[in-house]
Structure 1
């Protein structure tokens, strides 16, 4: 009896999915300065206005936060943090580019994982000298690879911030490519070359940069997500030929509650277990 195709958990769409978010506005250095300016503004209100009047803005902000939290905690349907969450277990399985179907074979296609990031070793963090130019290059590279995703075979990207320091001043993008040739083509694009030349040659020495690349063959990777929105490889967006013959962007997130995808070896197509048994 033939295995059933994996069931996708999101609908194909005519445009590419975009979930890169904003790493810059949530940086801890900027948050500290925002708190500093907010505190300074509150002090100015105390100086200029009667005490009870000056307390009104802070009291309103606090009351709004308290009421919003209470409503969302007591009424799950109003909880914005659950938006996009796929309840249950899911896994990332790349669809066929020719058909848009997932098939029934786990980890059927190779994938290249690429980490690309920068770090600001300076007390001013993202406000330090050269930070704006670095971020501009960083954003330009992200825009380039998204605009030419199909040409480069770029399947998806996710932004991350490291927490090894209290400053959280390390920014990283995790990319997924179909093959190393596509990654190499992106690396030799003029936009990426300019970013590399700036960081390696003329950028300030307090700005660090790095990349890592992992070429993963079929049957050598697996993923599981529980009660999560599409994330990492699961948040990829793959250009395929849809069932109607038109191009469609398909997310690789499929249900992992049934069949082979319930176990780690199953999600790998049992390649590692077969290797151990021989």
Structure 2
């Protein structure tokens, strides 16, 4: 059984600040599996922790993408404080220290992250015939009404 499809057009509430966090890795030398695999396998434990303690950590939702060499995870957080507290937490700190010990001295694997602080009213979304996805998982998922029919109206709804 697949994910529930919400027929019609939907958007999300944008009445709260949020943080969008992109994190990923790039395999620079495919044959150096012993260098990049530990970086890749560190993430599932952290993802499990995020969903297990979602509310107390301030973690809202995420999406994953895998390419031939590069991965990216898009995460949604309640605040920068929540994100930074998690970054200093035991599971993430241990993974970061292991990376620094094993892989940072090699160019076989690269890592990156980007953080965007998005004030309320400064994001909008639209989903047509989609399951809960992205912001739709992170914020309240609501049907589009005439008051929110255009991107411009959705952006002004909370300003």
TM-score (norm. length: structure 1): 0.52
Match of 2:149 in 1: 262
Q: Which runs of 5+ in 2 are unaligned?
A: none
Residue 121 of structure 1 aligns with which residue? 28
Aligned residues: 157
- Once residues 177 and 123 of structure 1 are traced to their aligned partners in structure 2, the CA distance between those partners, rounded to angstroms, is 32
TM-score by length of 2: 0.87
- C-alpha separation in 2, matches of 1:122 and 1:209: 13
Quick one: distance in 1 between partners of 2:148 and 2:99?
42
What residue in structure 2 maps to residue 86 of structure 1?
A: 6
State the structure with more CA Rg: 1
1:114 is displaced (CA, Å) by 0.6
Please report how far the alpha carbon of residue 260 of structure 1 lies from its aligned counterpart in structure 2 after TM superposition: 1.9
* Higher share of residues assigned helix: 1
Q: Give the one of 93, 97, 100 matched to 1:193.
A: 93
1:253 is aligned to 2:153: no
Residue 109 of structure 1, CA deviation: 0.6
* Per-residue Cα deviation, 1:87-106 (whole angstroms, up to 9, x for no partner): 2111122xxxxxxxxxxxxx
The structure where strand makes up a greater share of residues is 2
Whole-Å separation in 2 of the counterparts to 1:144 and 1:114: 17
Alpha-carbon distance in structure 2 between the residues aligned to 1:214 and 1:89: 26
Partner of 1:177: 77
Structure 1 unaligned residues grouped into runs of 5+: 1-79, 94-106, 163-167, 237-250, 273-278
Q: Which residue of 2 aligns with 1:55?
A: none
The answer as to whether partners of 1:199 and 1:209 remain within 8 angstroms in 2 is: no
In structure 2, the residue matched to 1:205 is 107
